[in-house]
Amino acid sequence: MIWLKRNWGLLVVGATLILIYSLLPLGTALEFGRDEGYEVIKPFLCTKGFVLYKDIWNDQPPIFTVLLTWAFKAWGPTIRVARLVAAGFGLLLFVTFFQLVRQRSGLWASLLAAFLLLASPAMLQLSVSVMLETPAFATALVSALLLFQWSRRPHWGWLLASGAVMGIALQIKLTAALIVPAMLVEMALTRWSSRSQSWTRATAFDLAQWGATVVALFLAIGLVWASGSFQSSFQSHFMERPVPSHGRAEDYVLPAGLLRQHVDGLGGAVIGLALLVRRKHWREYMFPAVLLLTAAAIHAVHRPWWNYYYLHLAIPLAWLAGVGVKEIISAATTFRPKASFRLISGQSAKGVALCALAALLLARPEKRLEANIRDLRRRPTIVSSLVVKTMKQYAERTHWAYADPVIYPFHAQVLVPPELAIVMLKRFWSGQITTAAIVEACKRYHAEQLVLPATPAPEWRELLANEYTPACAEQGWVLYVANSIYQPPNAGAAKVIVNSPATLSGSGAGQPPTVEMRSP
């Protein structure tokens, strides 16, 4: 009972999140995020005996893929299993975030911050998508929570545990390192607040212990599971060149519209930070402030920007905004008229204004959260996908399939050539693959099914014209089936018509074929 009294807020956060997750189509939605296909096809191929980095090209650390491989071997390679693992990390992210804010700013600030984080743009989707960002940051926040425990009770055990967990987080995704500067500041402030004359030496020793543990575990995991990953990772992350057909990394920047969607969070964070600075609660705001500054500085110059990076900003913004809203509500309760309530009095007007501001900062996120839930519930389902349905029809006669959105062969349970499982823009930009190389690999494997854009690149033209027939199309993607296994559709079914270059006139001549659906 005592534990329940002390942790009822944590139970509320966990129960609320589980309830929301239960409303989402975790096992039936075709796709939540584009990178889901990459993260499920790797463990799927691993369950079939292919080796990560040796057979399967991959530029990311191995831990999440290893976890999903274990889950797939235990319960089957389905999207439901993968998303339940992802949702588990999402739950870990929110409850750890709640605990961090609670330790620094109290219960009500932590409840408000957890709600504001959940209602931040894309956060609900990210917390259930089979992608790396949420697992990496959830684990990194656990490392930060262990460090907070060390700050309260300085003991080398907490420090080494924090370093070990951070090593694991970095082997999920290297972007977890964004939290490291805030943690280093936390260690320095812990020693400085002890008023020890040798705090510089003590801080250096703490940093050395923590850093050595991080590096040791990171390297150990790399040697066991990530052998061969460093070359592909380095080249894809640090060697970029423009590719005419795939643009440039510099073209992908943080969209201003995303910040406009979160103007309430930005405003709440500014208010919270201003209040904490004014009251000189520097220890309370230092961790989220350093994290926000680090993420903002890096993303101001780093390219490309992907929308799931917004998690890096959403966490500190929600933390500071939760503190700000709590302080606003607390201030509003102090404006109580001494006699009868009169709206025209100064005290009453200030109280009403503060209440209105708090309501504004909470109402907008609540509507956004409702919209996010509706959006995820309305996602196209696997059973409604014509491409998945058709791929399954040919699955028994298919040895290999290549798909631009690799989520399709995963749902159809069809193997993908391992070196073509992860074909992303960074791989083109780093010169590690070309469209011509993809076409050549598909010829070498004799891939029976191809899922390509409705207007494929010119390199595909000869192969598609001679060896494949378009079987179906949906949402800009076309499924091509090898002529050796293709079966004409039943009478009355819609036909897929290819507008070949020979049938185009005028300026369209010489362009790659396009595809359309026509009724007979």
Distance of CA 500 to the CA centre of its chain: 39
CA dihedral 46, 47, 49, 50 (to 10 degrees): -20
User: What is the domain extent for residue 448?
Assistant: 386-518
Residue 482 dihedral angles phi and psi, to the nearest 5°: -60, 140
- Burial track 408-426 (b if 16+ CB lie within 10 A, e otherwise): bbbbbebbbbbbbbbbbbb
Strand order in the sheet with 449-453: 401-403, 449-453, 477-482, 468-474
- The structure tokens 């299993």 sit at 81
pLDDT tens digits, one per residue of 115-151: 999 999 999 999 999 999 999 999 999 999 999 999 8
CB 90, CB 129: distance < 8 Å: no
User: What pLDDT shows up at residue 172?
Assistant: 95
User: What pLDDT shows up at residue 230?
Assistant: 56
- The structure tokens 């060697």 sit at 239
Side-chain-side CA neighbours of residue 2 (13 Å):
0
Whether the per-residue pLDDT at 513 is higher than 60: the answer is no
User: Is residue 366 located within the same domain as residue 481?
Assistant: no
Mean per-residue pLDDT, 360-372: 90
Q: Per mean pLDDT, which range of 158-172, 277-291, 371-385, 431-445 is the poorest? A: 277-291
Mean per-residue pLDDT, 458-479: 93
Whether the per-residue pLDDT at 261 is higher than 90: the answer is no
**Which is more confident, 196 or 504?**
196
What Rg do the C-alpha atoms of the chain give, in angstroms? 26
pLDDT tens digits, one per residue of 23-69: 999 999 999 988 899 999 999 999 999 999 889 998 899 999 999 99
Mean per-residue pLDDT, 360-364: 85
Sign of CA dihedral 273, 277, 280, 283: positive
Containing 353, the helix (H) or strand (E) segment is helix 346-377
- Burial track 83-113 (b if 16+ CB lie within 10 A, e otherwise): bbbbbbbbbbbbbbbbbbbbbbbebbbbbbb
Give the highest mean pLDDT range of 49-53, 301-305, 390-394: 390-394
User: What pLDDT shows up at residue 195?
Assistant: 64
User: What pLDDT shows up at residue 508?
Assistant: 41
pLDDT tens digits, one per residue of 412-445: 999 999 999 999 888 887 778 889 999 999 999 9
What is the spatial distance between Cα 399 and Cα 422, in angstroms, rounded to a whole number?
18
Structurally, how many domains does the chain consist of?
Answer: 2
Side-chain-side CA neighbours of residue 412 (13 Å):
32
DSSP string of 294-345, one letter each residue: HHHHHHHH-S---GGGHHHHHHHHHHHHHHHHHHHHHHHHH---SSS--TTS
Mean per-residue pLDDT, 321-333: 85
- Tally of CB atoms within 10 A around 489: 14
Q: 107-118 vs 8-22: helix axis angle to the nearest 10?
A: 10
Which pLDDT band, with edges at 50, 70 and 90, does 493 fall under?
Answer: low
User: What pLDDT shows up at residue 453?
Assistant: 93
N-to-C CA span, the chain: 70
User: What pLDDT shows up at residue 506?
Assistant: 37
Q: Provide the residue count of the chain.
A: 520
- Tally of CB atoms within 10 A around 212: 12
Quick check: is 247 in a domain? no
Q: What is the DSSP letter of 19?
A: H
User: What pLDDT shows up at residue 428?
Assistant: 81
Residue 426 dihedral angles phi and psi, to the nearest 5°: -60, -30
Q: What is the DSSP letter of 493?
A: S
User: Is residue 414 located within the same domain as residue 493?
Assistant: yes
Q: Shortest CA distance to 218 belongs to which of 89, 62, 93?
A: 62
Q: Shortest CA distance to 355 belongs to which of 369, 372, 343, 367?
A: 343
What is the spatial distance between Cα 43 and Cα 69, in angstroms, rounded to a whole number?
5
Which pLDDT band, with edges at 50, 70 and 90, does 153 fall under?
Answer: confident
Among the candidates 377, 400, 426, a domain finishes at 377
Among the candidates 344, 377, 410, a domain finishes at 377
Containing 495, the helix (H) or strand (E) segment is strand 495-499
User: Is residue 370 located within the same domain as residue 407?
Assistant: no
Mean per-residue pLDDT, 355-375: 88
Whether the per-residue pLDDT at 507 is higher than 50: the answer is no
User: What pLDDT shows up at residue 511?
Assistant: 44
What is the spatial distance between Cα 237 and Cα 234, in angstroms, rounded to a whole number?
5
Quick check: is 240 in a domain? no
User: Is residue 197 located within the same domain as residue 325?
Assistant: yes
Q: Shortest CA distance to 418 belongs to which of 390, 452, 445, 457?
A: 445
User: Is residue 79 located within the same domain as residue 157?
Assistant: yes
What is the spatial distance between Cα 445 and Cα 416, in angstroms, rounded to a whole number?
10
Residue 443 dihedral angles phi and psi, to the nearest 5°: -65, -40
CB 87, CB 127: distance < 8 Å: yes
User: What pLDDT shows up at residue 232?
Assistant: 54
User: What pLDDT shows up at residue 2?
Assistant: 72
Which phi-psi region, left, alpha or beta, contains residue 127 (left: φ > 0; alpha: ψ -120 to 50)? alpha
User: What pLDDT shows up at residue 343?
Assistant: 53
User: Is residue 301 located within the same domain as residue 175?
Assistant: yes
What is the spatial distance between Cα 182 and Cα 166, in angstroms, rounded to a whole number?
13
Q: Shortest CA distance to 481 belongs to which of 452, 448, 459?
A: 448
User: Is residue 87 located within the same domain as residue 171?
Assistant: yes
Quick check: is 244 in a domain? no
Q: Per mean pLDDT, which range of 108-117, 438-447, 491-500 is the poorest? A: 491-500
User: What pLDDT shows up at residue 43?
Assistant: 96
Q: Among residues of the chain, what percentage have pLDDT more than 70?
A: 85
Quick check: is 422 in a domain? yes
**Which is more confident, 387 or 252?**
387
Distance of CA 202 to the CA centre of its chain: 37
CB 452, CB 460: distance < 8 Å: yes
Among the candidates 345, 377, 409, a domain finishes at 377
User: Is residue 353 located within the same domain as residue 411?
Assistant: no
**Which is more confident, 480 or 206?**
480
Whether the per-residue pLDDT at 93 is higher than 70: the answer is yes
Which token pair is 324?
Answer: 């700000």
Whether the per-residue pLDDT at 285 is higher than 80: the answer is yes
Give the chain's largest Cα–Cα span: 89
Quick check: is 238 in a domain? no
**Which is more confident, 86 or 10?**
86
Q: Shortest CA distance to 321 belongs to which of 262, 372, 370, 260?
A: 262
Q: How, if at all, do strands 401-403 and 495-499 pair?
A: unpaired
Q: Look at residue 98 and give its three-state secondary structure.
A: helix
User: Is residue 228 located within the same domain as residue 343?
Assistant: yes
Quick check: is 492 in a domain? yes
User: Is residue 316 located within the same domain as residue 410?
Assistant: no
Quick check: is 237 in a domain? no
Q: What is the mean pLDDT of the chain?
A: 85
User: Is residue 289 located within the same domain as residue 262?
Assistant: yes
What is the spatial distance between Cα 512 and Cα 478, in angstroms, rounded to a whole number?
14
User: Is residue 289 located within the same domain as residue 357?
Assistant: yes
Quick check: is 115 in a domain? yes
Burial class (CB in 10 A: 0-12, 13-18, 19+), 514: middle
